Each structure stands twice: as C-alpha cells, then as structure tokens.
Amino acid sequence: MTEKHQTTLETIENVFDIVVKLLLVGLVVATFYATGIGLIDAVVQRTSVVGVSIIICVISSSWLKNREQYQTEPLKGMVHLFADIILLLVGVFAAWNAWMVIASQQETIYELNTFDAIVSVGGILVALEMCRRIWGWSLFIVAALAVLYLVFGQDLPWIFQHTGADIFEMADNLWYNSNKSVFGSLTNIIINIVFIFLIFGSLLEASGAGPTLLKFAFIVTRKMRGGPAHAAILSSSLFGTMSGSPVANIVGTGTFTIPMIKKRGFSPAFAAGIEATASSGGQIMPPIMGSAALVMADITSTPYLMVIVAALLPALLYYFSLFTSVIVEARRQGINPAPLAAKDRLTRQDLINSIMFIAPITTIIVALILGYSTSFAGYLAIISLIIVSIINPDVRKNPLKLISGMLRGANSGAKLMMAIIAIGLVVGTIDSTGLGLKLATVMSAVRGESLVAALFMAMAGALVLGMGMPTLPAYLIIILILGPALQKLGTEVLTAHMFVFYYGVASSLTPPVAIAAYAAAPIANANPFTTSLMALRLGAAKFVIPFAFVFYPSLLLIFDFNAIELTLTIARVAFAVWLISTALGAFELIELNILEIFLRLLAALGLLYASINVQVAALFIGLLVVGYHYYKYRKSP
C-alpha cells in the first residue's frame, strides 16, 4: 500500500471516528431529553435512533478497523469499505423512508408502492447483516428464518403453514409498522427505558465507584472462609445489577477479585467460575436487574417496583447458593479466614466515595416509590451520580471521564438496537402468522396440559438460544413463542416471564458457549471450558429456583400468601439449595461418598415437589443424611 493510500485511509478513519462521537453525543442528549425533559414524536424518535445506530455500528464494525489486512490486501479492503458505505447509505435511507411512510399512514390512507417495498427489503437485509456483525450468527439465523417463514410459510406442513406474504405484506408487517416489527413497541421500550440505564451503568463505572464497592465487599466478608471469593459474589451482585451485563461486570470487578481469589489458594478455574457465576447473577438482582427486566415490566404491564419485589427472594436464594458453594470449596481446600490487609482497609476517601453508589440507587428506589416512571427514575439517578461524582479526586482532575462513560453507554445502546431490530423481525412474523398461539394449542394437546413439560421446553429453548445471544433477545424470543403456552397452562404472566428470564441469564454459564465463563477464564489463566463447567456447578441453583417460584408463587411476594407458609417454603428451598451445593461439591465437612451425593440430590428434588407427603419424606432423608455426615465427621481422625 502506498503512503498516499495510507494517508487517505487514516483520513477516512478519523472522519468516521468524529462522526461516531458526534452521533453518540446526539444519542445521549436525545435520551436525556426524552426521559427527563420533554416528549419526542414516536415515529421520529424510533426511526432516527435506528438510523443513527446503524451508522454507528457499520462504522464500528467496518473493515477499516483492521489496518493490517488493508495493508496486506488493499484491493479487498477497498471492496469491503465500499460495501460498508453501501450498507450505511441503504440502512439510513430505509430508516428515513420508514419515517415518511409511517407518518403518512398515520395522517391518511397510504398504500405502499413498489419503491417502498424494495427499500424495506434493503433495510431488512442491512438489519440482518448488522445483527450478524455485532451479535454473531445465532440471532442472525433466528431472524433470517423468521423472515423466510413469513414469506414462504404457505409451503410448510402442519401448524407451521400459513397464507404466506408477498413483498408488500412483508414490508407492511416487518418494516412499516409502528406497533410491531422493527419500529414497534420493543424499539420504543429500549429507547425510552433501557438506554438511560445503559448510560447510567457506564457512567457509574467511569465515576470510580467500583474500587470502593470492592473494598466494602472485602470488609463485609473478611471473616468468612472464602474471603475474596465471597467479596466477588457481593460486589458482583451490586455492580452487576447496575451494569446489567455479565461481561462488563467481569471486566469491571473480575480483574480485581480473580487474582485475589487465586492468591487465597483457590484454583484458577474456581476463581474464574465464581466470578462468572456471580456476575451473571447481577441481572437477576434488584433494584435495576439489567435491560431485560426493564423490558419485562413494560410488556407485562407490571409496575417496575413490583418486578423488583418479585425478583428479590429468588435472587437472595441464588446468591445464598453461591455463598454455600464457596464455603464448601474453602473447607475442602482447608482455607481459613485471613486478616484484613492494610490496602483493603477503608480510608476516609472510600467512605466519601461510597456516596457515589448509595445516592443513585437510593434515588431510583425513592423515585419508583413516589410513582415516577422507570425512565425518569434512571434520569434522576444519572443527575444525582454526576453531582456526587465530584467528590472523587480523579473525576475532578479529569471530568471528561464522565462524558466518555456516557458515550460508552450510548454505544452499548446502539449495539443493542441491532439485536432489537432482529427481534422486531421475529415479533412481526409471530404476530402476522399467529405462530405463538398455534404452538400453545399444540403443546397443550400433545403434552396433556402438562405444565412441567411446557416449563422444560421453555427452559431448553432459553438455554439454547441464550448460548449465542444476549439475555434480552433470548428471553424475548422464547417468551413470544412459548409464553402463551405457559399462561394457557395456568402460569401467571409475570411468573412465566420471570421463569424464561432466569434461564436466559443462566445461558451465559451453559457450555459449550458460556460467554461469561469465556470472559472470566483469560483473567484467571484458566481453561475456558473447564471454567464453564465450574460455573455451571457453582450456579446450579439457578436451574432449580425458577421451578420453585412457578410451583410456589408466594416466593415472588406479589401474590396472596400466608406468612407461615412462605417462611416454610423459604426454609425448604434454602435447605434444598444447601443440599445441592454440597452434593455437587462432593464435600461438606469431609468428602461425600456417592450414596450421600445421590441422597442429597434426591432429598433436594423432593423438597421442591408439590406433594406434602413427598416433602416430609425428603426432609427426613435430608436431615438424616446431614446428621449422619456430622456423625462421621466427629468420628473421623
């Protein structure tokens, strides 16, 4: 490559970077305005954000970012650059045309013409390509199959057959529709609710609250055997509920906690596994719970405060299981509590910095209690965080850190929008073909009204889909397809959504993909697959707890319940979690033999069974096997 070409590419790259930063600033400003100041026309807002997000993601994923390949294959590089520009122009024009067409449809009777239909096809193809670039093949394949199913479904057999759709019907159902599809209600939720919390999470990280949060976690857990492992659980639950991303959580806290866990004597796989498990659990920990919970509240028409309350006990039970797993592992390796190091002691500045995570969380909770909208609560939390962040000397020295943090949040929102566009294609197809209701009817007939069978199908679907895509898309696809079936079999709407949501979160720990484990493994210098198996073992309770709150809805605290029955249910589930943790760890006070492991797992399952007779028998077996284990321990040398 000549020096002239090199200079030209550098100039193009610099221009692209400036464009991206300006657009990110625009997204931040528009988000602040829409959530805290005034209203923006819905069609203008949705089409503009989609168009801007396409520009940001095309440039961010451009072949231009790979300078080495440009130098070795300049012709191929220029072809890719030309393709990127075509994608950008087609995507933006398709979004603009959607604005014009939908606005016309709202004002008068407007019939789509051939040009509109062709533009929509271009927009759909750009949407699919950007989904593939940003989120990989899994979500791309699901969305592409949805589009093909809408168009060619008339040729399929059985319940999958429908009337099909020509190019005009496809355009109307998937592109030019403000109630469903690409510019529908899901896009509205992401823009007006999720974006503000993505910006908040990135801003919190930029404010420097993370290290102080870690110190507090170390102080609280200093007398426990697990030490830094317990601190990782505590800090990851708190940081994770605000970031909403397992990978971001691992990068934010794992770089500190994983080396310290290893230093205490835990294996690299365990150190990475516990961090991955705790970080993924941040999405189920109130009060924020990541983007999926925000979407759940909106599409179930449930107040977000009620979603927070419903998530509380299951989340506490999950983190209880992690604490017990660490205790079991520490006992196995003979690790005892260590004295608090001088560098981990709280300083005066740490106490002052604690306001940076206490103030915004308190702001969110108070705003929700006072009846403000979820988005406005997020807006107020950002304002409070910006104000209190000046107490951090690092922020005062470099206030641009806060701006960079907000831009990172907007960038995350733009990338998430590519997934939501793909989900919009799936939603439009399901709504147009009635596939969800058809599957619900068939499942009810074939499975003989078996709720357990439907739950296992939903669990498997969420785990499989979630292996290759973020929690939110996996949750949305499964709940749209199988949600009607679960509700038809008697499950409450919010309970069904929580069930699928939990397994969408659990998918980040499920081999062979296990994205959370793969993010944590390099930090610990551990084998990724071994780490994923360890994370799966440590987070096993996450696969049990959803069944518990489906069959015992009182655990969600939002349905009518008896206080005594609730207490007994919590005790049973907690005991079952303890039995599972010790059985999978094959250790309690001393090693467990095969029979003890089997009996503990059997008792744990029995404790969660609906029959009172089975529960009593399981409780007897559980107490007997634990009592025998303590007797063996006392008799051991």
In our burial notation (b when 16+ CB lie closer than 10 A, e otherwise), range 49-65 reads bbbbbbbbbbbbbbbbe
3-state secondary structure of 358: helix
Span 416-438, average pLDDT: 83
Q: CA 353 to CA 357: how far, in whole Å?
A: 8
Query: Could you tell me the pLDDT band of residue 4, with boundaries at 50, 70 and 90?
Result: low
- pLDDT for 395 equals 85
Q: Is 84 found in the same domain as 194? A: no
What is the C-alpha separation between 53 and 333, in angstroms, rounded?
50
In this model, does residue 178 exceed pLDDT 90? no
The per-residue pLDDT for 122 is 94
192 shares a domain with 153: no
Same domain, 292 and 354: yes
pLDDT value of residue 31? 92
Judge whether 551 lies within some domain. Answer: no
Strand, helix or coil for residue 406? helix
Q: What's the pLDDT band for 527 if we cut at 50, 70, 90?
A: confident
Comparison of pLDDT for 248 and 193, the residue scoring more: 193
pLDDT of residue 578: 92
pTM above 0.85, yes or no: no
Do 147 and 195 fall into the same domain?
Answer: no
Residues whose CB falls within 8 Å of the CB of residue 160, separated by 6 or more in sequence, listed in order: 149, 153, 435, 438
If asked whether residues 193 and 153 sit together in one domain, one would say no
Domain that holds residue 282: 187-411
Assigned domain for 83 exists:
yes
Q: Are residues 198 and 270 in the same domain?
A: yes
Quick check: is 107 in a domain? yes
Choice between 345 and 157, residue whose per-residue pLDDT is larger: 157
How would residue 338 be classed by pLDDT, with cut points 50, 70 and 90? low
Q: Which of 176, 210, 226 is the last residue of a domain?
A: 176
The domain total for the chain is 3
Placement of tokens 């709504």 in the chain: 431
Whole-number Cα distances in Å, 617 to 106, 302, 380, 613, 623 = 64, 38, 52, 6, 10
Q: If you count DSSP H runs as helices and E runs as strands, how many of each does the chain have, helices first?
A: 31, 0
> What pLDDT does residue 73 have?
67
Encode pLDDT of 303-326 as tens digits. Answer: 888 888 899 999 999 999 998 988
> Alpha helices, DSSP H only, in 108-227?
114-135, 137-152, 167-174, 185-189, 195-206, 209-220
The answer to whether the CB of 554 falls within 8 A of the CB of 569 is: yes
What is the average pLDDT across 201-218? 78
- Residue 350 lies inside a defined structural domain of this protein: yes
- What is the pLDDT at residue 2? 61
Quick check: is 419 in a domain? no
Residue 520 placed within a domain: no
Distances (CA, A) of 95 to 26, 183, 377: 17, 9, 30
Kindly state whether residues 198 and 337 are assigned to the same domain.
Answer: yes
- % the chain with pLDDT above 70: 91
Q: Let me know whether 217 and 153 are in one domain.
A: no
What does pLDDT average to over the chain? Answer: 84
Domain co-membership, 148 together with 197:
no
Q: How confident is the model at residue 69 (pLDDT cuts 50, 70, 90)?
A: low
Asked if residue 418 is part of any domain, the answer here is no
Asked if residue 200 and residue 144 are part of one domain, the reply reads: no
Q: Which of 119, 142, 176 is the last residue of a domain?
A: 176
Domain boundary among the residues 411, 432, 450 is at 411
* More confidently predicted of 64 and 575: 575
571: helix, strand or coil = helix
For residue 446, pLDDT beyond 60: no
More confident residue, 136 or 574: 574
Q: Which helix (H) or strand (E) holds 604?
A: helix 594-607
Q: Which pLDDT score is estimated for 138?
A: 78
In a shared domain, residues 167 and 219: no
Q: Which of 198-212, 268-282, 440-454 has the lowest mean pLDDT?
A: 440-454
Q: How far, in Å, CA of 158 to CA of 353, rounded?
A: 62
Reported confidence tier of residue 341, pLDDT bands at 50, 70, 90? low
The 10s digit of each residue's pLDDT in 552-586 is: 888 988 877 788 888 999 999 999 999 998 999 88
Give me the count of residues in the chain.
637
Q: What number is the average pLDDT over the span 518-546?
A: 86
Residue 127 to residues 118, 236, 241, 473: CA-CA distances in angstroms? 14, 34, 29, 15
CA dihedral 309, 314, 316, 319 (to 10 degrees): -140
Burial of 512 by CB count in 10 Å (0-12 exposed, 13-18 middle, 19+ buried)? exposed
Establish if 505 belongs to a structural domain.
Answer: no
On the question of pLDDT at 518 being above 80, the answer is no
| Predicted confidence band of residue 118 (pLDDT cuts 50, 70, 90) | very high
Q: What angle do CA 410, 423, 197 make, to 5 degrees?
A: 30
Per the model's pLDDT, the better-predicted residue between 48 and 243 turns out to be: 48
Cα–Cα distance measured from residue 625 to residue 579, given in angstroms and rounded to the nearest whole number: 10
Beta-carbon contacts of 493 under 8 Å, excluding residues fewer than 6 positions away, are: 300, 302, 487
Residues 344 and 240 grouped into a single domain: yes
* pLDDT value for 48: 94
Residue 1 pLDDT: 53
What pLDDT shows up at residue 253?
75
What pLDDT shows up at residue 54?
93
- Give CA angle at 19 (15, 22), nearest 5°: 140
- List the structure tokens of 380: 């107020």
